[in-house]
């Protein structure tokens, strides 16, 4: 308890305090308004027709219309149906597996995997349109995250818990490459991937992003703190290294793996410069690439703000939901590894 | 502990499932593989939207059934812009894979490939119809004396103006024939109608204005091979063209809005723009922006000469236009040639596809009567709404529009582009933006452009 | 005893007699190789798709190559061309401007906000953290497009609401500040959380002791809070600086939608992209390596400044 000091309170200082507190609330209200107004605007404008946005960009919609969202699903009734089926079956599978498979975590993983596999069906059916681009983003982000986390976890474990020849030198070298911007590899990768015929595919968007060094750093830092006694105990029980990794390390390190996974997912979700050069064919392009180019089909160059805003909402919603349900992981990652985007 | 057995099976399942998913998605993401056997595939590479070219093929195959039987037509979209096509072609050439059979290019882009021998010589199909093509189309088809391209879309210079407002302001077309006259006319118009302008020109114009002005000068080129130097500061064409733009921008007779900016379409609707020094493709946009309310008020003529200062501006072309080329190593060159022979190089074929899209005008003079007849006497097709029928050129501008456009094709002059044309035009555009933005005078901006080209490009003709 | 073993598990050598005992050599062999198997996926992918292309880019930057045909060795010509191109310097200064103009004010603002939110006087504190972080979570492209709509000249929300007619996104001088505003808006959450975490990590006993000794709020801030947060701020600052050199999405989407921003507002990576689009791959690679050089210099400068003003861990 704080030692209480004799403080002379008089009316004037109390009034001063009240004013100060009021001003602080005002300041915070301004910040909240500043932070929330643009996404709110995005949501509101997505319910206005394109022409109304030109007349009334800032206020509430005079005619609320879902036409923009219809536009997103326009060419894709097949996708929507297949997607709904996939979602339904995938969720069912997950529930069933959760009941009969142990531990729960594996069941959820299996369910998610089946969801992804089923996602192939909508893809092959999807003709085009924003929904296809949305699916592209989901696919690329998910696959990259899964494999990036796997690779970094394996390597981080080795760097943290094993001593081997070249360990320190290698790790320092890897850290040094953090300063090398990814964009350096754009010209050569463009040439290399065209030789491999990988331009305008999914793999060109996935493979170069499987090894972010900051993730390795993050995971290694965390794994260093795992007590060796845990590992020793497992060894005594006869487990080999592979088992130790999957049964001990991964569960114990799951917080940092989740944090890294979220950061990587967010980065892949936002990727723009890479697909702009490597994958701008509409059937594989991510949603981010297509949104700024949406134009009025009749007139030609005028942006269709209503549809664009609806697409932005579509682009934002998954991450927002992920954020609201996992706030701590989103925000703690910054301070452990201090990365943004 | 029984860990080992249970875990390894589950792990194997997990890893197997994920890999299968990844593999499946990768395959799903891969493009469709070429069909084997049967009719020959012809792959046409373009940028932007593929539907126009597809419907064109369908309409031509409708007339020539042998084409439909022998050719399986694919359109490959390389990206949203023309440079995507150039890059895709470069990569195809380096990897010797996926070389398309036909490529659509802008005429400015083919120099690089023509000089390196990557394009098939097309004299065998163009020479027979050489005399039937408009002079501009012939220029499109040739590079340095050889026929290497099939002309597709010719871009000629047309001046659209509000005849009614010009009359009210007391301006005639002859007034515009000199640069001073143009300035005076612009001032007269703006004095009479304070909210209207004779042209629009902001500080970030589109690059085609440069090509339009420069192409009127005979023999102008960016780089002189003989003296191995850039001509930007030496050839008076550049300073004259840029000074003209600076003058009209500074005289207050231009609406400070740029082409294809967000406010441009609105400005037409609000009748603020009374004239457009532009190209023939504007016929597709102007009616949309001005709406049917301005039907019949716009007239179309070739550009005013603006002589003597600007050579003869009634001639020239923004960038020539767009063309089809056939790579020397195209896998299905013969099938591609067959198609080209029945497409733009055939009167019936080109008229058929024109009736579908109304944009790509036939370039054979022998097709002219059929086009004019349809243009002037055709009735509204069933699948076109009344609103968009009213905005078709024949209804918006008048029945004589097509003849005017055809005549303009003979005035087309294509600038002699070198392999680095795109970059050179970009550098010139930056100079123009500096001039219009008041950051530099004409002489210093052009000097900067010259030194930029020298340091950034060097010699555009070296490989 | 083999050196390559799990740390602290010397006992295991003696105790692996449970199953059919593997021979000593195979134990050694598998123990030595295991870590390499673990790092293999990461390392091999990294070598093939990061280090390899980095080296290729370096080599490429000394050649002139159009993507087909032959590559001609040109020595330093590409670097010379880039370094004498005024557009490169404009875009580089744009990048540095965007970095400093958004980070420096942001540090002050976010720090103030963090102190405010942490002080025990306000209610509803737990709401502010996620709300202030929301902008960071909105997709970059979506945020840029919303801002483009907000700041349109004719039909933008700002101009309509306040009856202004400022050419926000058409006058390059104003546009640069709109980009800065977008960057501040997006990254407020990041810095706020960094400072909040830093403040939370300070031992409250220290503050108590200072209060007992008679220090007021301002002095506590200056002599206790700020010095103790140096490391976390330093780390965040360096990472922010490195990623800011690779800025691309925000200026381009905000000012030009899907196409390229004009040089007065473009960041330096635009030159790299434009060179790829024009097929001059050697120059593009040169730009990339120059950006790397700039990143190193900037990081070294930040490091140096922090070192000069106190210790760095």
Question: Any idea what DSSP says for residue A162?
Answer: B
B215 pLDDT band, cuts 50/70/90, is very high
Whether the pLDDT of residue B138 is over 80: the answer is yes
Averaged pLDDT, C246-261:
91
Query: Does C8 have pLDDT greater than 50?
Result: no
| Total count of residues recorded for chain A | 341
Measured between CA atoms, how close is B261 to chain A, in angstroms?
8
Nearest to B285 among A123, A283, A300 (CB): A300
Name which of A289-298, A308-317, C85-94, C95-104 the model is least confident about: A289-298
From residue B187, alpha-carbon distances to B141, B169, B248 in Å are 41, 10, 10
Q: Where is pLDDT greater, at C295 or B387?
A: C295
CA distance A57 to A79: 32
Q: Report the alpha-carbon distance of residue B166 to residue B151 in Å, rounded.
A: 36
According to the model, what pLDDT value does residue A299 have? Answer: 63
pTM exceeds 0.95: no
Q: In 3D, which of C234, C5, C6 has the Cα closest to residue A223?
A: C6
The reported pLDDT for the residue numbered A78 is 61
Residue C95 pLDDT class (50, 70, 90 cuts): very high
Predicted local confidence at residue B205, as pLDDT: 92
Q: What share of chain B is helix, strand, coil (3-state, %, to 5)?
A: 50, 15, 35
Residue B4: the pLDDT is 39
What would the pLDDT profile of B234-249 be if each residue is shown by its tens digit? 999 999 999 999 999 9
Q: Is the pLDDT of residue B385 over 90?
A: no
Amino acid A283: pLDDT: 82
What is the predicted pLDDT for the residue at B12? Answer: 46
Average pLDDT value for residue range B135-153: 94
Residue B22 to residue C130: CA distance in whole angstroms: 34
Average pLDDT, chain C: 85
CA-closest candidate to residue C293, choices C238, C245, C229: C245
Mean pLDDT over the full length of chain B:
87
Task: Provide mean pLDDT across the span B434-441.
Answer: 92
Name the A residues in 177-216 with CB < 8 Å from any C CB. 177-192, 194, 207-208, 210-211, 213, 216
Q: Quick one: how far is CA B357 from the chain centroid?
A: 16
Tell me what the mean pLDDT of segment B78-89 comes to.
86
User: Cβ atoms within 10 A of the Cβ of B37, count?
Assistant: 5
pLDDT value of position A75: 62
- Alpha-carbon distances of C67 from A153, A289, B97, C63, rounded to whole Å: 38, 24, 13, 11
Question: In the predicted model, what is the mean pLDDT of residues B101-130?
Answer: 94
Q: Which runs of E-coded beta strand occur in A1-144?
A: none
Sign of CA dihedral B269, B270, B275, B278: negative
Q: Please give the pLDDT value at position B98.
A: 83
pLDDT value, residue B378:
84
CATH architecture for segment(s) B26-155+318-378: 3-Layer(aba) Sandwich (3.40)
Task: Please give the residue of chain B at the shortest CA–CA distance from C281.
Answer: B87
Q: Which chains touch B (3 or more CB pairs under 8 A)?
A: A, C
* Mean per-residue pLDDT, B327-339: 93
What backbone phi and psi angles, to 5 degrees, belong to B323?
-140, 165
Highest averaged pLDDT of the listed ranges A192-201, B155-164, C147-156: B155-164
Say if CB A269 and CB A146 are below 8 A apart: no
The answer to whether the Cβ–Cβ distance between A117 and B20 falls below 8 Å is: yes
* pLDDT on residue B380: 83
With b for 16 or more beta-carbon neighbours within 10 A and e for fewer, the B146-172 pattern comes to ebbbbbbbbbbbbbbbbbebbeebebe
* Domain range summary for chain B, segments of one domain joined by +: 26-155+318-378, 157-316+414-456
With CB atoms and an 8 Å threshold, state whether A181 touches C285: no
State how far the Cα of C6 lies from the Cα of B449, in Å rounded to an integer.
65
Q: Mutate which of C18, C53, C70 to disrupt the A interface (most A C-beta within 10 Å)? A: C53
CB of A23 less than 8 A from some CB of C: no
Cα separation, B399 vs C235, whole angstroms = 71
**All domains of chain C, ordered by start, with CATH?**
22-77 (no CATH), 82-308 (1.10.3720.10)
Residue B152 and residue B409 in contact, taking contact as beta carbons nearer than 8 Å: no
Q: What is the mean pLDDT of the segment spanning C95-123?
A: 88
Single out the residue of C123, C95, C90, C145 nearest to residue C267, CA to CA: C95
Q: Do residues A39 and C138 make contact, with C-beta atoms less than 8 angstroms apart?
A: yes
CB contacts of B282 in chain A (<8 Å) are none
Tell whether the model's pLDDT for residue B255 goes beyond 50. Answer: yes
Q: Where are any strands of DSSP class E within B218-363?
A: 223-224, 229-230, 254-255, 275-279, 298-301, 321-325
- As given in the structure block, the two tokens for residue B106 are 């802008």
Q: With DSSP H G I counted as helix, E B as strand and the rest as coil, what are the percentages for chain C, rounded to 5? A: 70, 0, 25
DSSP sequence for A320-334? HHHHHHSHHHHHHHH
Cβ distance C85 to B455 less than 8 Å, yes or no, reads yes
Angle at which helices C269-277 and A186-195 cross, to 10°: 30
Would you call C66 an interface residue with chain B, using a CB distance cutoff of 8 Å?
yes
pLDDT of residue C233: 86
Q: Are strands B102-106 and B40-46 parallel, antiparallel or unpaired?
A: parallel
pLDDT of residue A74: 62
A112–B contact, CB cutoff 8 A: no
Instruction: State both tokens at B214.
Output: 């420069």
Q: Count CB neighbours of C308 within 10 A.
A: 8
- Identify the contact set of chain B against chain A, taking CB-CB distances under 8 A: 1, 3-4, 7, 10-11, 13-14, 17-18, 20-22, 24-26, 28-31, 77, 79-80, 84, 88, 91-92, 94-95, 97-98, 260, 262, 265, 285, 288-289
d(CA B232, CA B424): 10
Strands B321-325 and B150-154: antiparallel
Average pLDDT, integer, range C20-45: 79
User: For chain B, which residues lie within 8 Å of any Cβ of chain C, measuring from their own Cβ?
Assistant: 80-81, 83-84, 86-87, 90-94, 112, 116, 118, 202-204, 261-263, 266, 420, 422-423, 426, 430, 433, 448, 452, 455-456, 458, 463
* Full pLDDT tens readout for chain A, 341 residues: 445 555 555 677 888 888 888 888 888 889 999 999 999 999 988 888 887 777 777 777 778 888 788 777 666 666 666 666 676 676 676 666 666 655 666 666 766 766 666 665 555 555 567 888 888 898 899 999 999 999 999 999 999 988 888 899 999 999 989 889 999 999 999 999 988 888 889 999 999 999 999 999 989 999 999 898 988 888 888 888 888 888 889 889 988 998 899 899 999 999 999 999 998 888 889 999 989 888 776 666 777 888 899 999 988 988 888 888 778 777 776 555 433 32
Residue C75: count other Cβ atoms within 10 Å of its Cβ.
9
Q: Which of A43-47, A123-127, B212-216, B252-256 has the lowest mean pLDDT?
A: A123-127
C161–A58 CB contact, under 8 Å: yes
Considering only CB atoms, C292 lies closest to which of A180, A213, A330, namely A180
> What is the C-alpha separation between C243 and C240, in angstroms, rounded?
5
Task: Enumerate the residues of chain B whose CB falls inside 8 A of the CB of residue A302.
Answer: 262, 265
Nearest to A246 by CA among B10, C212, C156: B10
pLDDT over 90, % of chain B = 63
pLDDT at residue C28 greater than cutoff 90: no
Q: Quick check: C215 pLDDT over 90? A: no
Phi, psi for residue B147 in degrees, rounded to 5 = -85, 110
Rounded to whole angstroms, the Cα distance separating A34 from A32 reads 5
Which position has the higher pLDDT, A339 or C247? C247
With CB atoms and an 8 Å threshold, state whether C257 touches A36: no
Q: What pLDDT does A82 receive?
A: 66
The residue that leads in pLDDT, C226 or C104, is: C104
Question: Measured between alpha carbons, how far is B71 from B50 in angstroms, rounded to an integer?
Answer: 17
- Residue B16 pLDDT exceeds 60: no
Cα C302–chain centre separation: 13
Contact call for C69 and B463, based on CB within 8 A: yes
What confidence category does residue C7 fall into, taking pLDDT thresholds of 50, 70 and 90?
very low
CATH architecture of B157-316+414-456: 3-Layer(aba) Sandwich (3.40)
Q: How far is CA C308 from CA A179, B191, B347, C302, in A?
A: 22, 66, 79, 10
* Contact assignment for A187 to C281 by CB distance below 8 Å: yes
> At CB < 8 A and 24+ separation, what contacts does A49-52 make?
A49/A306, A50/A296, A50/A304, A50/A305, A50/A306, A50/A307, A52/A306
Mean pLDDT of C221-234: 82
Using the predicted structure, report yes or no on whether residue B25 has a pLDDT greater than 60.
no
CB contact under 8 A, A119 and B25: yes
Q: Average pLDDT for residues C150-177, to the nearest whole number?
A: 86
Tens-place pLDDT, residues A310-329 = 999 988 988 888 888 778 77
Contact status of A100 with chain B (Cβ, < 8 Å): no
Degrees, nearest 5: CA angle B15-B16-B18 = 65
Would you tell me which residues 123-142 of chain A have a C-beta closer than 8 angstroms to some C-beta of chain B? Answer: 123-124, 139
The ipTM, to two decimals, is 0.85
Mean pLDDT value across residues C285-309: 93
Q: Provide the CA A129 distance to its chain's centre, in angstroms.
A: 22
Q: Would strands B199-200 and B254-255 be described as parallel, antiparallel, or unpaired?
A: parallel
Give me the pLDDT at residue B33, please: 40
Kindly state whether A55 is in contact with chain B, defined as any CB-CB distance less than 8 angstroms: no
User: Hey, which bits of B57-149 come out as E strands?
Assistant: 71-77, 102-106, 142-143, 146-147
């Amino acid at each position: 308890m704080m030692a209480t000091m004799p403080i002379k309170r008089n009316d004037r200082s109390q009034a001063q305090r009240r004013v100060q507190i009021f001003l602080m609330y005002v300041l915070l209200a301004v910040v909240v308004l500043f932070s929330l107004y643009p996404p709110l605007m995005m949501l509101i404008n997505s319910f206005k027709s394109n022409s109304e946005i030109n007349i009334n960009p800032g206020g509430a919609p005079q005619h609320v219309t879902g036409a923009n969202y219809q536009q997103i699903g326009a060419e894709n009734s097949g996708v929507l149906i297949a997607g709904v089926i996939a979602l339904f079956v995938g969720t069912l599978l997950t529930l069933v597996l959760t009941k009969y498979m142990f531990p729960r975590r594996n069941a959820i993983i299996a369910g998610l995997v089946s969801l992804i596999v089923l996602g192939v069906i909508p893809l092959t059916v999807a003709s085009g349109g924003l929904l296809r681009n949305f699916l592209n983003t989901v696919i690329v982000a998910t696959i990259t995250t899964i494999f990036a986390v796997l690779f970094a976890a394996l390597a981080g474990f080795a760097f943290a818990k094993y001593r081997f020849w070249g360990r320190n030198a290698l790790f320092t070298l890897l850290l040094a490459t953090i300063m090398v911007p990814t964009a350096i590899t754009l010209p050569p990768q463009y040439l290399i991937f065209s030789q491999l015929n990988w331009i305008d595919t999914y793999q060109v968007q996935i493979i170069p992003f499987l090894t972010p060094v900051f993730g390795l750093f993050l995971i290694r830092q965390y794994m260093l703190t795992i007590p060796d006694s845990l590992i020793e105990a497992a060894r005594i029980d006869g487990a080999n290294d592979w088992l130790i990794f999957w049964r001990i390390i991964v569960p114990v390190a799951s917080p940092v793996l989740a944090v890294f996974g979220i950061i990587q997912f967010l980065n892949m979700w936002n990727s723009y410069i890479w697909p702009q050069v490597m994958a701008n064919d509409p059937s594989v392009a991510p949603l981010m690439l297509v949104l700024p180019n949406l134009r009025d089909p009749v007139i030609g160059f005028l942006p269709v703000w209503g549809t664009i805003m609806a697409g932005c909402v579509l682009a934002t919603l998954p991450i927002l939901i992920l954020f609201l349900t996992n706030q701590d992981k989103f925000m703690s990652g910054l301070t452990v590894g201090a990365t943004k985007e | 502990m029984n860990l080992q057995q249970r875990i390894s099976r589950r792990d194997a399942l997990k890893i197997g499932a994920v890999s299968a998913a990844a593999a499946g998605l990768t395959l799903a993401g891969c493009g469709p593989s070429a069909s084997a056997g049967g009719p020959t595939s012809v792959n046409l590479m373009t940028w932007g939207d593929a539907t126009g070219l597809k419907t064109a093929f369908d309409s031509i195959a409708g007339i020539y059934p042998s084409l439909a039987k022998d050719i399986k037509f694919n359109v490959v979209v390389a990206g949203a812009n023309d440079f995507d096509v150039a890059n895709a072609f470069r990569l195809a050439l380096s990897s010797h894979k996926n070389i398309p059979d036909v490529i659509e290019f802008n005429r400015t882009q083919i120099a690089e490939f023509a000089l390196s021998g990557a394009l098939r010589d097309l004299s065998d199909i163009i020479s027979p119809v050489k005399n039937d093509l408009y002079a501009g189309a012939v220029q499109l088809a040739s590079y340095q004396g050889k026929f290497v391209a099939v002309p597709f879309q010719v871009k000629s210079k047309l001046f659209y103006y509000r005849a009614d407002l010009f009359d009210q302001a007391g301006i005639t077309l002859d007034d515009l024939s000199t640069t001073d006259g143009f300035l005076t006319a612009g001032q007269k118009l703006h004095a009479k109608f304070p909210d209207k302008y004779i042209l629009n020109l902001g500080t970030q114009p589109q690059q085609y204005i440069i090509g339009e002005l420069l192409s009127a000068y005979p023999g102008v080129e960016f780089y002189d091979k003989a003296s191995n130097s850039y001509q930007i500061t030496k050839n008076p064409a550049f300073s004259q063209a840029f000074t003209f733009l600076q003058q009209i921008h500074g005289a207050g007779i231009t609406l400070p809005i740029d082409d294809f900016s967000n406010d441009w379409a609105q400005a037409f609707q609000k009748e603020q723009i009374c004239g457009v020094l532009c190209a023939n493709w504007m016929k597709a946009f102007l009616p949309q922006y001005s709406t049917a309310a301005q039907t019949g008020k716009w007239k179309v003529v070739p550009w005013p000469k603006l002589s003597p200062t600007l050579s003869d501006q009634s001639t020239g072309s923004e960038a020539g236009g767009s063309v089809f080329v056939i790579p020397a190593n195209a896998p299905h060159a013969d099938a591609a040639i067959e198609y080209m022979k029945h497409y733009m190089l055939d009167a019936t074929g080109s008229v058929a596809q024109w009736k579908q899209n109304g944009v790509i005008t036939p370039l054979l003079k022998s097709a002219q009567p059929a086009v004019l007849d349809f243009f002037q006497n055709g009735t509204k097709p069933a699948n076109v709404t009344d609103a968009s029928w009213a905005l078709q050129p024949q209804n918006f501008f008048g029945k004589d529009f097509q003849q005017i456009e055809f005549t303009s094709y003979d005035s087309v002059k294509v600038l002699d582009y070198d392999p680095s044309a795109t970059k050179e035009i970009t550098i010139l555009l930056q100079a123009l933006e500096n001039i219009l933005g008041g950051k530099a005078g004409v002489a210093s901006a052009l000097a900067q452009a010259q030194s930029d080209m020298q340091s950034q490009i060097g010699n555009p003709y070296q490989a | 005893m083999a050196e390559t073993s799990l740390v602290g598990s010397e006992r295991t050598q003696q105790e692996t007699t449970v199953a059919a005992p593997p021979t000593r050599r195979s134990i050694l062999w598998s123990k030595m190789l295991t870590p390499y198997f673990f790092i293999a996926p990461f390392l091999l992918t990294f070598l093939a798709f990061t280090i390899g292309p980095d080296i290729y880019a370096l080599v490429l930057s000394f050649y002139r190559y159009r993507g087909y045909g032959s590559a001609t060795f040109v020595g330093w010509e590409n670097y010379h061309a880039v370094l004498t191109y005024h557009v490169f310097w404009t875009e580089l200064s744009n990048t540095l401007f965007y970095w400093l103009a958004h980070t420096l004010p942001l540090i002050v603002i976010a720090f103030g906000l963090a102190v405010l939110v942490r002080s025990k006087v306000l209610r509803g504190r737990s709401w502010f953290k996620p709300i202030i972080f929301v902008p960071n979570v909105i997709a970059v492209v979506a945020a840029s497009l919303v801002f483009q709509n907000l700041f349109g000249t004719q039909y933008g929300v700002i101009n309509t609401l306040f009856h202004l007619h400022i050419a926000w996104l058409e006058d390059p001088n104003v546009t640069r500040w709109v980009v800065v505003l977008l960057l501040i808006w997006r990254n407020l959450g990041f810095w706020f959380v960094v400072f909040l975490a830093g403040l939370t990590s300070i031992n409250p006993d220290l503050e108590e002791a200072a209060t007992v000794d008679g220090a007021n709020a301002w002095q506590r801030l200056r002599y206790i809070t700020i010095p103790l947060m140096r490391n976390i701020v330093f780390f965040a600052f360096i990472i922010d600086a490195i990623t800011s050199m690779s800025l691309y999405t925000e200026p381009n989407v905000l000012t030009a939608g899907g196409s390229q921003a004009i040089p007065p507002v473009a960041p330096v990576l635009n030159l790299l992209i434009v060179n790829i689009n024009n097929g001059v791959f050697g120059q593009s690679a040169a730009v990339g390596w120059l950006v790397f050089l700039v990143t190193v210099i900037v990081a070294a400068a930040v490091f140096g400044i922090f070192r000069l003003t106190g210790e760095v861990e």
